[in-house]
Amino acid sequence: MSFGRPHLRTSYEQDSAIFPTWWQKGAAAFALLFITLMVLGNGAAAAIPNWLFGATWLAPFTLVIPFAIAALGYNILTGVTGQVSLGHAFFMGVGAYTAVALGGKGDGGAKACIPFHENLGLLESAGECGLGLPIWIWLPMAGVLAALVGILVSPAAVKVRGLYLAIVTVGLTFIGLHIARMLPEYAGDYESGRKWPKLDIRLWKEETPSIDLNEDGKWFGLIHLTEEQKQFFFLFAILLVMMAFAKNLVRTRTGRALQAIRDRDVAAEVMGVPEQHYKRIGFAISSFYAGIGGALWASYQGRVSPIDFSLLLSVEFVAILLIGGAGTIAGTMLGVTFVELLPKVVERLTGWLAGELDSGGVISTIANFLLTSGQQGDFGPVSTSPTAPGWPMSVFLWNPVIYGVLIVVFLIFEPHGLFGIWLKFRNYWKGWPFSY
């Protein structure tokens, strides 16, 4: 017992606990309850304003979850192991197309897998391959196959480090796009893609799913949920499992070996840590997470194309880790929420400013300074037209610019990201008023 020292930790088990204090356990339970009430709404959370998590924001928050799962894998590779990769989108694509090959249904009957060129390149007559298997098969296999591809690629990747590794993994993204062009019976049309299996739970290939996540109704006969609410809770449950695994991985022998390689790979190898072996493990686990995230993202979207798994998607994960904070689960969650919701926030803010253009006052002045409708005499950098070419750019074309600016700002002023800002705030108040 440590009387008078409630936060004194006397064992490694206490020091590595996920929630070492009762306050943290209570905060985690409160956060889960708060999220549940926000999603349920409609009287269950009457005290919570609708604008916090209403129908408008439920879909964007749900879309964050698959990216959060993939970002956890990228954090294991880059934040924990110290391997810089720009090929994470490739492994997401491997998982996504594994899911559609196993879970998708062929649209051409007996001709479902006729090569695309034999149908004169017409999307309407081209078949789409798929076995129609249930989610409890295609979702794990999406992660497993992505991990196997990661293991196959890792011998070439683990022999290089730093900038050279980033260049090697960039090549994977372009290889994936080329393969998608060569296999349109699986990838669909290169621009418009194909349909993915729906998020529903079946025992096998029966027409009526055991748990239908695409229709409004009662879940387990207990509570009425909309389609969007069902999908959110299903994906959120998977995210919690993946977060628990990622957090526990860091506390294991493997996790400590990966961190030792990140901190000083030569010293770790001198101490007996087989560097290439553990780098290969880190690559495989990261690829597994990317495969699961890619499969869930494509299935939730319903239809994606190969170009969605481009280099820009990999750069988004770099931004997520740098803005949120590398090496931590909390930082990864902060980063993915910030980066993935930022375009939606900017889009809604732009729409609100566009409505205030002629209202007069300070807001109208700001709106006229920032926005332009493309007419002569307007000099705003943001165009209210969604298809505006050149300068001024539409709000959608500004997103990559914002990512780049945020990466530069956080690297210069706060290398530990949003999680670092939280640590500074927490440590200040823990020592207050003796903050020196």
**Same domain? 122 vs 246:** yes
What pLDDT does 336 receive?
Answer: 94
**Same domain? 104 vs 160:** yes
Q: SS3 of 319, please?
A: helix
**Same domain? 78 vs 117:** yes
Burial bucket for residue 116 (CB in 10 Å: 0-12, 13-18, 19+): buried
Average model confidence (pLDDT) across the chain: 81
User: Domain range spanning residue 308?
Assistant: 59-314
The residue among 290, 308, 243 whose CA lies nearest residue 66 is: 290
The residue among 210, 419, 201 whose CA lies nearest residue 321 is: 419
Residue 309's φ and ψ, nearest 5 degrees, are -100, 50
Q: What integer is the mean pLDDT of 171-178?
A: 90
Q: Which residues pair with 382 in a beta bridge?
A: 371, 393
Higher-confidence position of 42 and 267: 267
**Same domain? 160 vs 92:** yes
Count, residues in the chain:
436
Max CA distance (Å), the chain: 80
Q: What integer is the mean pLDDT of 10-34?
A: 83
Q: Give me the sign of the Cα torsion angle 30, 33, 39, 44.
A: negative
Listed in sequence order, the residues at least 6 apart from 160 whose beta carbon sits closer than 8 Å to its beta carbon are 168
pTM listed for this prediction: 0.88
The model's pLDDT over 192-224, given as tens digits with 9 standing for 90+, comes to: 788 888 888 888 888 888 888 888 877 666 778
Domain stop point among 271, 299, 314? 314
Exposure string (b/e) for 253-267, b if CB count within 10 Å is 16 or more? eebebbbbbbeebee
Q: Could you tell me the two tokens for 378?
A: 């307007």
**Same domain? 85 vs 167:** yes
Does the residue 351 lie in any domain?
no
**Same domain? 107 vs 176:** yes
391 falls in which pLDDT band (50, 70, 90)?
low
**Same domain? 253 vs 222:** yes
Domain stop point among 256, 286, 314? 314
Angle CA 413–414–416, to nearest 5: 160
Separation of alpha carbons 313 and 307, rounded Å: 10
**Same domain? 179 vs 47:** no
**Same domain? 202 vs 234:** yes
Does the residue 37 lie in any domain?
yes
What pLDDT does 365 receive?
Answer: 76
Does the residue 339 lie in any domain?
no
Number of domains into which the chain is organized: 2
Domain stop point among 296, 314, 332? 314
What pLDDT does 72 receive?
Answer: 96
CB atoms within 10 A of CB 164: 12
Does the residue 358 lie in any domain?
no
**Same domain? 39 vs 177:** no
| pLDDT surpassing 50 at residue 311 | yes
Does the residue 77 lie in any domain?
yes
Does the residue 364 lie in any domain?
no
**Same domain? 32 vs 119:** no
Does the residue 138 lie in any domain?
yes
**Same domain? 243 vs 278:** yes
Separation of alpha carbons 1 and 192, rounded Å: 64
Does the residue 377 lie in any domain?
no
Higher-confidence position of 125 and 183: 183
The model's pLDDT over 114-165, given as tens digits with 9 standing for 90+, comes to: 454 444 444 443 446 778 899 999 999 999 999 999 999 888 777 777 778 8
| pLDDT surpassing 70 at residue 39 | yes
Listed in sequence order, the residues at least 6 apart from 254 whose beta carbon sits closer than 8 Å to its beta carbon are 278, 281
Higher-confidence position of 196 and 389: 196
